[in-house]
Amino acid sequence: MMNLAQLRARLEHSFAPLACECSVDGDHSLTVKLYHRDSGQVDLVISGLDLASLRTPGAVEALVDELRYELESNSLRSSRDPDLA
């Protein structure tokens, strides 16, 4: 399993130029926040991810794919409805 710093670096590489913050909650679940480094504007926060499931490179790639999907979905919603932006 990757350590938290490695996971954050992998996510930042995948979502550049966004920054990433990863934190482990009391129940050992993972929260990931993707945001703009300069402005601090948050694009995506996902909580409750199963940290124990991120043991293989394939599992991390699946997480990247899921986060990419969520990020694109958020972008589509906010572009259709200016009140959500």
Per the domain annotation, does 10 fall within a domain? yes
Looking at per-residue pLDDT, the higher value among 78 and 69 belongs to 69
Looking at per-residue pLDDT, the higher value among 64 and 84 belongs to 64
Domain range spanning residue 74?
4-78
Peptide bond into 17 cis (omega under 30): yes
* pLDDT of the residue at 78: 61
Q: What is the mean pLDDT of the chain?
A: 86
What would the pLDDT profile of 9-46 be if each residue is shown by its tens digit? 899 899 999 999 999 988 889 999 999 999 999 999 99
Domains of the chain: total: 1
The SS3 of residue 61 is helix
Work out the average pLDDT over 60-85: 77
Please say whether the beta carbons of 64 and 14 come within 8 A. Answer: yes
Distance from the Cα of residue 4 to its chain's centroid: 13
* pLDDT of the residue at 56: 87
Name the residue type at position 39.
S
Per the domain annotation, does 85 fall within a domain? no
Per the domain annotation, does 32 fall within a domain? yes
